[in-house]
Homo-oligomer: A and B are copies of this chain.
């Protein structure tokens, strides 16, 4: 009655290793992935039921701790990850921490007490408390969004993404470029992304980038943009996130400038809404679906005691839009 990996491979017309790669979250084409998923669904294939019955102490639960469920990035990754884990026979338990580091640590401890088989943390900052906790863990922990050599991590390549955005904007002839970024406590976004942007702009001979600090929210983005425009009017503003870019757009318009005729604006994130607005936003779109699959595959392999690369980086692209214009 039950279908085997061999039979799935035969039905899909692919090698057995491709099916394994699919089950472990490795890279395969979307077409093959869709085909295998369909077969698995048709036959109700449950990859972990056998392994699990052997090690009866496993609960089949994967704990996920997220600072905010209303983040575009988190929810996109989470949904795909949840689907992939479900297909592997796991149930995800999601905890929301409302941006409290204390609650983050507490949630990880609670999940461990609830005997989850593995944990995934969406991290915005790694503190000494995190490192202390990691020492005490008895189940695998995967961190998404920040990098450390103390556990497995999936991190966007913020330096490269920043570099390519800087290169793109300066290649359009912009020389006076401002960057509205965030605190450097956030290593990934605050430090690496900024450094990449500065180096990328320099590559095409732009002036040194003027930096203005903002929070992640709309209001502080508006404040930072006001400061930026008071300082001196740039021909392009690169923003650390799409939300910050929306704040910048509003202020730039209120001050009577046209986007992109007077000032070009770009973001990071590739939120759905950034394509809907006018002008549509030039932004870095990280591959959140790949990230979700990668996270599910990684934690699944770690829970089964397999080897996984310590650090993995999902792909990204620069999404072109109407908010950036070439300067003559």
Contact = CB atoms under 8 A, between A and B. Distances in A.
Interface of A: 68-70, 72, 75-76, 78-79, 82-83, 91-96, 98, 110, 114, 218, 243, 246-247, 249-250, 253, 272-273, 275-278
Integer count of this chain's copies in the complex: 2
Contact of A75 (B75, B93, B218, B246): B75
A41 to B, nearest CB: 11
Given A96-B78, A96-B79, A218-B272, A246 B68 contact: no
A71 to B, nearest CB: 8
A233 B246 CA distance: 30
A249 B278 contact: yes
A95 B98 CA distance: 18
A114 to B, nearest CB: 8
Contacts of A92: 94-96
A271 to B, nearest CB: 8
Contacts of A82: 69, 96
The 4 closest A-B pairs by CB, nearest first: A70-B75, A94-B94, A246-B276, A69-B75
Given A83-B98, A218-B275, 18 more contacts: A69-B69, A69-B82, A69-B94, A70-B79, A78-B96, A91-B95, A91-B110, A92-B95, A93-B93, A94-B94, A218-B272, A218-B276, A243-B276, A246-B277, A249-B278, A250-B276, A277-B277, A278-B278
